[in-house]
């Protein structure tokens, strides 16, 4: 019999995750990983948060049987996620007009949501910002959606091309699923203002678009409540929309795959029907989510004192990122780079879109052992006081040559 896979062409390596393997295989001591969006502390390690350590210890002692958990995840977890996303005493929470399903990280939330929109609602068109997190487009394509881009990054003015974005949104066919970055836009680091969000909401309403907010970085810009502004404005607008949450970043629980998909509808009755579809999609895909990460998040969010400690730890990560942004801008200037890097301080979240070309990024890897994504995105969390000067000087070198 002919080899069934004989003509299969290999897929390219993932542009983000492959940087980690390249970095790990580099023997140079001075190497730096600015690729994947993963928080690292001053020592270059991804810390286990203190409140997470406590949760791990408590859970370990309980020896909870490893049974299946519900298809939609831990019930209390789902409720706590809604409180975190919409705020205490939110109307959405009180009326029960949203349903939440625990997912395999933020990626799993997006994937489940897109599958549901295609399979149950017949959506065939999707849209994402140019540029966006590359996986957005792959997730939509895998769920059967045709993907188009809308203008977002304004290179000239180092910001958002908002009029371009609105123009492109108005040209989308009704029923297009529009992926919007709720905060800390990945990869650019440029977010919309409150008044711009209002305009986006109006366009979604008038052009019958399906908003899908991706909120992977709640807490990394200004604070847990502040960063939920866009999602809460959508909630107030009365529109039907979807929101993906991730606890990979805010809990440093990357490998545990802890996230959630929330769908906001006009009524509790509709939310219940939507949830039945989400469960049906999840059942056919992975059956039910893993329990451990969800239990950790539940342990922390369910108690005000633990919640406050977690909020403090998130603030600590956020502050370190801010400091690194400031130091990078200063060091690039000191290194005599031909370009001003002060824009990194106006961007928010883990990432900065540097404007470095793919060739310059390649050179950073080959000559200096500095790994970043070829579209010019760097993860600021890979910087620390020990390597920021080296990185800045290397940036200056590749920009000068």
* Active-site residue flag, 285: no
User: Is residue 16 near ligand LMR by the rule CB under 6 A?
Assistant: yes
- Cis, bond preceding 357 (omega within 30 deg of 0): no
Let me know: does 391 contact 328? Beta carbons within 8 Å: yes
Which C-beta is closer to ligand LMR: that of 37 or that of 259?
37
Which C-beta is closer to ligand LMR: that of 135 or that of 347?
135
Which C-beta is closer to ligand LMR: that of 93 or that of 217?
217
CA–CA distance, 246 with 216 (Å, rounded to integer): 5
* Active-site residue flag, 26: no
Least Å from the CB of residue 19 to ligand LMR? 9
Which C-beta is closer to ligand LMR: that of 204 or that of 253?
253
- Interface residue with ligand LMR among 32, 33, 34, 36 (CB under 6 A) is 36
Which C-beta is closer to ligand LMR: that of 188 or that of 394?
188
- Of the candidates 168, 191, 249, 310, the residue annotated as catalytic is 249
Let me know: does 332 contact 391? Beta carbons within 8 Å: no
* Active-site residue flag, 214: yes
Least Å from the CB of residue 111 to ligand LMR? 12
Angle at 379 between CA 201 and CA 362, to 5 degrees: 115
Tell me the site size for ligand LMR, rule CB under 6 A.
6
- Interface residue with ligand LMR among 102, 128, 186, 354 (CB under 6 A) is 186
User: Is residue 37 near ligand LMR by the rule CB under 6 A?
Assistant: yes
Which C-beta is closer to ligand LMR: that of 186 or that of 347?
186
Least Å from the CB of residue 46 to ligand LMR? 12
Least Å from the CB of residue 104 to ligand LMR? 12
Least Å from the CB of residue 394 to ligand LMR? 21
User: Is residue 289 near ligand LMR by the rule CB under 6 A?
Assistant: no
CA–CA distance, 293 with 295 (Å, rounded to integer): 5
User: Is residue 131 near ligand LMR by the rule CB under 6 A?
Assistant: no
Least Å from the CB of residue 147 to ligand LMR? 17
Least Å from the CB of residue 179 to ligand LMR? 13
Q: Is 364 exposed, middle or buried (0-12, 13-18, 19+ CB in 10 A)?
A: buried
Which C-beta is closer to ligand LMR: that of 104 or that of 160?
104
Q: Please name which of 252, 215, 181 lies closest in space to residue 37, comparing C-alpha atoms.
A: 252
- Of the candidates 168, 214, 279, 310, the residue annotated as catalytic is 214
Subset of residues 343 to 372 that bind ligand LMR, contact rule: CB under 6 A: none
Q: Is 18 exposed, middle or buried (0-12, 13-18, 19+ CB in 10 A)?
A: middle
Which C-beta is closer to ligand LMR: that of 211 or that of 382?
382
User: Is residue 19 near ligand LMR by the rule CB under 6 A?
Assistant: no
How far are the Cα atoms of 86, 262, 350, 361, 363 from residue 19, in angstroms, in the given order? Answer: 35, 31, 16, 11, 14
x/- binding map, residues 135-154, to ligand LMR, per CB under 6 A? x-------------------
User: Is residue 133 near ligand LMR by the rule CB under 6 A?
Assistant: yes
Residue nearest to ligand LMR (CB): 37
CA–CA distance, 356 with 322 (Å, rounded to integer): 21
Least Å from the CB of residue 24 to ligand LMR? 16
User: Is residue 218 near ligand LMR by the rule CB under 6 A?
Assistant: no
- Of the candidates 78, 133, 168, 310, the residue annotated as catalytic is 133
User: Is residue 215 near ligand LMR by the rule CB under 6 A?
Assistant: no
User: Is residue 86 near ligand LMR by the rule CB under 6 A?
Assistant: no
Tokens 């001591």 found at: 29
Q: Indicate which residues carry an active-site annotation.
A: 133, 214, 249
Residues of this chain that bind ligand LMR (CB under 6 A): 16, 36-37, 133, 135, 186
């Amino acid at each position: 019999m002919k080899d069934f896979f004989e003509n299969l062409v290999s897929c390219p390596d993932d542009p983000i995750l492959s940087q980690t393997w390249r970095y790990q295989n580099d023997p140079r001591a001075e190497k730096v990983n600015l690729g994947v969006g993963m928080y690292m502390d001053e020592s270059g390690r991804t810390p286990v948060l203190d409140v997470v350590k406590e949760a791990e210890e408590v859970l370990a002692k309980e020896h909870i049987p490893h049974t299946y958990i519900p298809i939609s995840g831990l019930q209390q977890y789902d409720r706590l996620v809604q409180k975190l996303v919409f705020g205490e005493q939110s109307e959405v929470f009180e009326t029960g007009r949203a349903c939440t399903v625990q997912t395999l990280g933020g990626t799993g939330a997006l994937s489940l949501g897109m599958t549901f929109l295609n399979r149950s609602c017949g959506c065939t068109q999707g849209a994402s910002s140019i540029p966006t997190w590359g996986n957005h487009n792959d997730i939509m394509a895998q769920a059967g959606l045709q993907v188009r881009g809308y203008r977002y990054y304004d290179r000239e003015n180092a910001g958002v091309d908002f009029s371009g974005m609105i123009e492109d949104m108005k040209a989308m066919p009704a029923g297009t699923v529009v992926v919007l970055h709720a905060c800390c836009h990945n990869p650019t680091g440029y977010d919309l203002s409150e008044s711009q969000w209002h305009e986006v909401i109006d366009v979604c309403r008038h052009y019958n678009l399906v908003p899908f907010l991706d909120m992977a970085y709640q807490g990394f810009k200004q604070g847990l409540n502040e960063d939920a502004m866009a999602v809460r404005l959508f909630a107030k607008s009365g529109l039907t929309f979807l929101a993906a949450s991730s606890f990979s970043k805010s809990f440093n629980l990357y490998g545990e795959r802890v996230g959630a998909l929330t769908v906001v509808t006009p009524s509790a009755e509709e939310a219940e029907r939507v949830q039945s579809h989400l469960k049906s999609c999840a059942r056919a895909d992975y059956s039910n989510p893993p329990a451990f990460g969800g239990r950790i998040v539940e342990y922390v969010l369910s108690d005000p004192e633990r919640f406050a400690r977690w909020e403090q730890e998130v603030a600590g990560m956020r502050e370190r990122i801010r400091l690194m942004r400031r130091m990078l801008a200063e060091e690039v200037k000191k290194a005599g780079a031909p370009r001003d890097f002060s824009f990194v301080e106006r961007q928010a979240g883990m990432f900065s879109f540097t404007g470095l070309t793919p060739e310059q990024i390649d050179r950073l890897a080959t000559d200096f052992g500095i790994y970043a994504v070829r579209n010019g995105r760097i993860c600021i969390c890979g910087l620390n006081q020990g390597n920021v000067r080296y990185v800045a000087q290397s940036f200056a070198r590749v920009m000068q040559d």
